[in-house]
Chain A
Amino acid sequence: MSQVIADLKYAKSHEWARLLPSGLVEIGITDHAQHALGDLVFVEVPEAGRALEAGAACAVVESVKAASDVYSPIACTVVECNTELASTPELINQDCYGRGWLIRVKPASASALEGLLSADAYSAVLTAEGG
């Protein structure tokens, strides 16, 4: 069973978003996504300053098996990328909700997270997908 964390927001495309005390939002991929991909071996993240629409491809995570796009769950501007992933992409397998975060962004609006799925709603999506 994939782990879903209660206080995060989720997108159907298997990204999570966490509102940080600073007002920035941290984005990563879910346990379901890392498990489906398998061992991650390469991560391509966007440059700081890039503006993203909600649903825009913002990063690529590659496992031994396949390359997969990561979509920004919200409209935002990239502030920071997880540079540790360049040398240790396996952090995403080991700790996808923690040290395996991908990017930190400034949301385009304060209410940006409201349209995302709750943990329960995302769990229901996984159940419907058979995972």
Chain B
Amino acid sequence: MGRKTPLYGLHVEQGARMVDFGGWDMPVNYGSQIEEHHRVRCDAGMFDVSHMCVIEIRGHHSRAFLRYLLANDVDKLRVEGKALYSCMLNETGGVIDDLIVYFMNEQWFRVVVNAGTRDSDIAWMRAQARESAQHLEVIERVDLGIIAVQGPKARAVVAEFLDSKDRDATLALEPFNGRVCGEWFVARTGYTGEDGFEVVLPIERAPSTWRALVAAGVAPCGLGARDTLRLEAGLNLFGNDMDETRNPLESGLTWTVAFDPATRDFVGRQALMDIRAAGGPSHKLVGLFLEDRGVLRTSQKVVVRGVGEGEVTSGTFSPTLERSIAFARVPTGTGQSVQVDIRGKLLPARVVKLPFVRNGRVLITL
């Protein structure tokens, strides 16, 4: 038996098919994951992401600590509620986890990390905090749940639940910003490529809020739709597209590493600098579009004629494109076309610029 979120009972009651995800019993779909996918692209859907972990970094040295801990630079965060996506690296530059950090105030940053890595993340953070001998606290919030409401109509629906004093300011939030609304923290973030809000709330409020959102017409969606949505949106999944053995430079995440200012030391910096000095990474992460029918899957071999071989890191059927798409780690010299080994047959695939889909629009040429 896996760990359960406060919404577990509701998922089962609503007919969800439950699967193990990083040690948690989570809904994979409530019927058709393709229908759930389309609801998010065209209307509003929601995901229980309470298995992800909210960690508070508190104390006067929070900013300095996070500037050392994370590959992106929290000095970019100056406005309360502003969010930043970052990798947390080990000394060799490998990705321990990817996360979002919110600037709450100068003594308080909020970090949201993946479910499967929450325990090891917290241990790592505490070890780094000790090593840098700074006075700060790393607090795991087991009392909070998260509901991600996503889709073109998502923000308007969530706004109906807010006090009138919070409504306008919350609707006015720019992407990657959040604010406290009473017991809730509402942020304009997500993992689907659509607009929407992620709502952090006390776990005892999660079931009644979920029911009320269902009544307001928001479709419950499972991890199946979450995966096809994030793949179309060109968003990496930790454990598939990067892990402790892969650095951001070979994972399509160079944009998240703040090398400037050069005076800022962070865990993994030297390793990444060494790779750059040696001519850069040997591999890169790219988007693939399968020209034929069939489905790209994790671990399939990618053949790049005259260059070498790579591997599919995440692959699926795209409900929006009605074709198969993937991310693959391929040799840096890879051009526009590759072949993927699907059950012994080499099928042609095209290398495309990510994302495939964003805000309901197809961004690649079919």
Give residues in A with beta carbon < 8 Å to B. 38-39, 41-42, 44, 60, 62, 64-67, 86, 93
Q: B33: CB under 8 A from chain A? A: yes
7 smallest A-B Cβ distances: which pairs? Answer: A41-B317, A39-B34, A62-B295, A64-B317, A42-B295, A39-B32, A64-B33
Of A39, A60, A66, which is in contact with the most chain B CB atoms at under 10 Å from its CB? Answer: A39
Task: Knowing A38-B33, A39-B34 are in contact, say whether A64-B224 is a contact too (CB < 8 A).
Answer: yes
The reply to whether B34 and A64 form a contact with Cβ atoms under 8 Å apart is yes
Chain A residues, Cβ within 8 Å of B319: 64
Residue from B28, B228, B293 in contact with A86 in the complex, judged by beta carbons closer than 8 Å: B293
Q: Mark B146-176, 1 if CB is under 8 A from A, else 0.
A: 0000000000000000000000000000000
Task: Knowing A38-B33, A41-B295 are in contact, say whether A62-B317 is a contact too (CB < 8 A).
Answer: yes
CB within 8 Å of A: which of B39-65?
A: none
Chain A residues, Cβ within 8 Å of B33: 38-39, 64-65
- Bound together, the chains give a CA A93 to CA B29 distance in angstroms of 15
Q: Mark B198-235, 1 if CB is under 8 A from A, else 0.
A: 00000000000000000000000000100010000000
Q: B118: CB under 8 A from chain A? A: no
Chain A residues, Cβ within 8 Å of B2: none
Chain B contact residues: helix, strand, loop or mixed: mixed
Give residues in B with beta carbon < 8 Å to A. 17, 28-29, 32-34, 224, 228, 293-295, 297, 316-317, 319, 324, 343
The reply to whether B29 and A38 form a contact with Cβ atoms under 8 Å apart is yes
User: Can you offer 21 A-B residue contacts whose CB atoms are under 8 A?
Assistant: A38-B17, A38-B28, A38-B29, A38-B32, A39-B32, A41-B295, A41-B317, A42-B317, A44-B294, A60-B343, A62-B295, A62-B317, A64-B33, A64-B34, A64-B228, A64-B319, A65-B33, A65-B224, A67-B295, A86-B293, A93-B32
- Bound together, the chains give a CA A55 to CA B343 distance in angstroms of 19
Chain B residues, Cβ within 8 Å of A67: 295, 297, 343
- Bound together, the chains give a CA A60 to CA B224 distance in angstroms of 20
Chain A residues, Cβ within 8 Å of B295: 41-42, 62, 67
Chain B residues, Cβ within 8 Å of A62: 294-295, 317
- Bound together, the chains give a CA A86 to CA B319 distance in angstroms of 16
- Bound together, the chains give a CA A93 to CA B35 distance in angstroms of 13
- Bound together, the chains give a CA A60 to CA B294 distance in angstroms of 10
A63 → chain B closest CB, angstroms: 8
Chain B residues, Cβ within 8 Å of A64: 33-34, 224, 228, 316-317, 319
- Bound together, the chains give a CA A52 to CA B180 distance in angstroms of 64
Extra contacts, 7 of them, besides A42-B317, A64-B317, A86-B293 (Cβ < 8 A), are: A38-B33, A39-B33, A44-B294, A60-B343, A64-B228, A64-B319, A67-B297
The reply to whether A42 and B224 form a contact with Cβ atoms under 8 Å apart is no
- Bound together, the chains give a CA A39 to CA B228 distance in angstroms of 12
A119 → chain B closest CB, angstroms: 24
- Bound together, the chains give a CA A39 to CA B38 distance in angstroms of 13
B327 → chain A closest CB, angstroms: 16
Chain B residues, Cβ within 8 Å of A66: 297
Q: Which residue of A lies closest to B323 (CB)?
A: A41
Chain B residues, Cβ within 8 Å of A38: 17, 28-29, 32-33, 224
The reply to whether A65 and B28 form a contact with Cβ atoms under 8 Å apart is yes
Chain A residues, Cβ within 8 Å of B293: 42, 86
